Amino acid sequence: MGRARFITLEGGEGVGKTTNLEFVERHLALRGVRFVRTREPGGTRLGEAVRDWLLGFEAVAPEAELLLLFAARAQHLDTVIRPALRSGQWVICDRFTDASYAYQGGGRGLDPQPIAFLERWIQDGLEPDLTLLLDAPVEVGLERARGRGRTDRFEAEALPFFARVRDAYLERAARFPNRIKRIDAARPLPEVRAEIARYLDALLDP
């Protein structure tokens, strides 16, 4: 099976990350893969505290938001992601640095250069092996997300914010086609899952 792999799931609100993460877990478990499932922001006590702050409704400056996310990411890499990979366990992570480019860069309009600097510094060359980008028109995702009846600080943003987030994700996918696989998440779930399974199988049996 080779070395442990690092898989991330990305996309705008309500595209189905959580739903499809469960599918990824089942698929890997059936193939006998040992893995850790985690998320960003989150995955550690510090990360969960940052998550509470950022998803809450207190105003946070965009720069502070970016720095908090990378502070949480540093802790996450140090105490969860790198140790798991070193011990031979795969890591499946709900969002990672592509989300910082999409939300803080695209959505909030921050310069991508400081993001790239933080990425180089904190990750020191560690990149996901595979990023599944679940992509759907903004209206489709928002309708699904809002159907769940709860809203956080990001979900309360206006439509143009989510359009910028989506554009930034698509730009990243065009720039890193070997790593980031765009999946049309507006399709019925069985079709989305069949495509995800193909990408996972390609990692398992290169």
Binding residues for ATP: 11-18
What is the contact mask toward ligand Z5A in residues 109 to 138, using x (rule: CB under 6 A)?
------------------------------
Query: Residues, the chain, total?
Result: 206
Could you give the angle at which helices 62-76 and 112-123 cross, rounded to 10 degrees?
Answer: 20
In contact, 189 and 19? CB cutoff 8 Å: yes
- Please tell me whether residue 15 binds ligand Z5A under the rule CB under 6 A: yes
Structural Rg of the chain based on CA atoms? 16
User: What's the CA angle centered on 17, arms 139 and 148, to 5 degrees?
Assistant: 60
- Please tell me whether residue 25 binds ligand Z5A under the rule CB under 6 A: no
Q: Identify which of residues 1 and 186 has a Cβ nearer to ligand Z5A in the complex.
A: 186
d(C-alpha 60, C-alpha 49), whole Å: 14
Q: Identify which of residues 90 and 103 has a Cβ nearer to ligand Z5A in the complex.
A: 103
Q: Which of residues 29-58 bind ligand Z5A (CB under 6 A)?
A: 40-41
Positions in the binding site for ligand Z5A (CB under 6 A) = 11, 13-19, 40-41, 69, 94-95, 99-100, 103-104, 144-145, 152, 154-155, 185, 188-189, 192
